Amino acid sequence: LLDDGDRRLFGQYKLTPPRFYALTHINEEPGLSSSKLSDRLLCDKSNVTRIVKGLEAEGHIIRKQHETDGRTKQLYLTEQGKDVLREVQIAHQSFNNQRLESVKDLSDVDLLKSLTKLNQTLLAVLNSDEHKQDSNGKIV
């Protein structure tokens, strides 16, 4: 649900979650190489190449030749990219605040218990060979 919400929000700005996070990393480290961006995004170089080409085509980033290593391209946000990122970050923060509104009144202990239970449930689902559900749709 969280991922779906993010996809919808970013889609309003013609971005995908990986493109948003690529812009974020490039903004945090201007001149970042595609190889380092691949490490930051935890995805392979072919996916990063596709992400970078898309962001470049949209005018959000530019690639510049590294000053001393002619084989390496450095990534920088354009002014348009900075503006879009700033706008999306504000919207994303607001969206996250709305989503977390339901847990703001929980005590720290209650929140920790709930998150621990959620974590255990998610781990159980991930570690099970089959995702069986009972008649009520609950995973068993």
- pLDDT, one tens digit per residue, over 53-97 is 999 999 999 999 988 887 889 999 999 999 999 999 999 999 888
Cα–Cα distance for residue pair 17/81, rounded to 1 Å: 15
Q: Are residues 62 and 76 in the same domain?
A: yes
Residue 137 has pLDDT above 80, yes or no: no
The sign of the dihedral angle between the CA atoms of 9, 23, 88, 12 is negative
Residues 64 and 129 in one domain: no
Q: Are residues 23 and 80 in the same domain?
A: yes
- Contact criterion met (CB below 8 Å) for 132 and 139: yes
Give the whole-angstrom CA distance, residue 36 versus residue 45: 10
**Are residues 20 and 40 both part of a single domain?**
yes
Structural domain count, the chain: 2
> What is the reported pLDDT for 118?
84
Which of 94, 49, 87, 39 shows the shortest CA–CA distance to 19? 49
Please check whether residues 112 and 43 belong to one and the same domain.
Answer: no
Which residues, including other chains, have CB under 8 Å from residue 60's CB and lie 6 or more apart?
19, 23, 77, 78, 80, 81, 84, 85
- Which residue range(s) make up the domain with 124? 106-140
Same-domain status, 74 and 95: yes
Whether residues 57 and 23 fall in one domain: yes
- Give yes or no: residues 37 and 98 share one domain: yes
Give Cα 92 distance to the centre of its chain.
11
**Residues 16, 79 within the same domain:** yes
Asked if 100 and 120 sit in the same domain, the reply is no
Residue 75 sits in a domain whose CATH number is: 1.10.10.10
pLDDT exceeding 70 applies to what percent of the chain?
A: 90
> What φ, ψ does residue 51 adopt, rounded to 5°?
-60, -50
pLDDT at position 129, please? 58
